[in-house]
Homo-oligomer: A and B are copies of this chain.
Amino acid sequence: MSENIYTYFRVTVPEPWIAHVEIHRPDQLNAIIPELWLELRTVFDRLSIDPSVRAVIFSGSGERAFSVGIDLKWVSKEGSPFIPRSDEYADPARRAAALRLWGVEFQECITSIEKCQKPVICVLHGFALGAAADFCAAADVRICSKGTIFCVKEVDIGIASDIGILARLPKVVGSYTWVKDVTMTGRNFDADEARREGFVSSVLPTKKDALAEAFKMARTLSEKSPVAVQTVKHFLDYSRDRTVADGLQYQLAYNTAVIQTNDVPVAIRALVSKKVPTFEKL
């Protein structure tokens, strides 16, 4: 991964095992367009199976924004799915079919963050508006800098988001009255409110501090058995959505292969001898 091959992302491996994914449209405050979210999927699908990566940090380029959300210029352009049509898609059912294809693809691109087998730590700063909330809600851990401004903006362009935030937010934070408040009003909330409600797990003074904190966590994760870390992520996402009984049954079925790994005796020996273990690539 010596060279960056993406247009809208900068993907680097600044330390062994740790990939850093940056949304890279800084002049447009990392505003989101279709080409960007399609590329997002490519980025995360590749990291998901890259054995040299054990943790991913996901942030936004530039000083002003993680991302301001969907690019309003694109949204209001002729041909955007949000603009009525006078062509063959004027029939509501045919327009619906087009919207469905388009929507499934957008959903899958965002879900590629959640499905990435490696833990994804999202670092937020500046503006994190609209679709940016959909993006970061699909990450595993969210941390932010002091001045971050969040908002679930879609309601202000006349739509209810169907690309992630409204499916995930009730499961990502505890207070449902707060969830309804911020998603129906579309109002801004700041880093402290995000922390108090459990949307982010820590607030650092600056973007630089937040990135440093993320790298510290990523380093910790990359020193552990990748089998164990990736399985924890998968078990939580599976169980979050299901009964405790179904969660337990699936976990055990899955673990009967995974637990036979040599990483277990390696980890135990290291723990007993208080040495740092080394794990094979996964």
Contact = CB atoms under 8 A, between A and B. Distances in A.
Given A103-B255, A176-B173, A252-B103, A88 B220 contact: no
Given A172-B177, A176-B171, A157 B268 contact: yes
Chain A interface size, under 10 / 10 to 19 / 20 to 34 / 35 or more: 35 or more
B241 A159 contact: no
B180 A104 contact: no
Contact of A251 (B160, B248, B261, B281): B160
A22 interface: no
Interface stretch (A1-9, A10-18, A90-98): A90-98
Contact of A263 (B72, B158, B200): B158
A104 B234 CA distance: 15
A199 to B, nearest CB: 7
A60 interface: no
Contact of A268 (B72, B155, B262): B72
A231 interface: yes
A100 interface: yes
Interface stretch (A24-32, A34-42, A75-83): A75-83
Interface in A59-118: 72, 75-76, 81-84, 88, 91-97, 99-101, 103-104, 107, 111, 114
Number of chain copies forming the complex: 6
Contacts of A167: 235, 239, 244, 247-248, 251
A264 interface: yes
A229 interface: yes
A258 interface: yes
19 contacts: A76-B269, A82-B259, A84-B260, A91-B261, A92-B260, A96-B258, A97-B227, A140-B184, A141-B181, A158-B268, A159-B225, A159-B259, A160-B231, A162-B235, A162-B248, A171-B244, A184-B233, A241-B242, A241-B244
A100 to B, nearest CB: 6
Interface in A232-282: 232-236, 239-245, 247-269, 271-272, 279-282
A158 to B, nearest CB: 3
A183 interface: yes
A126 interface: no
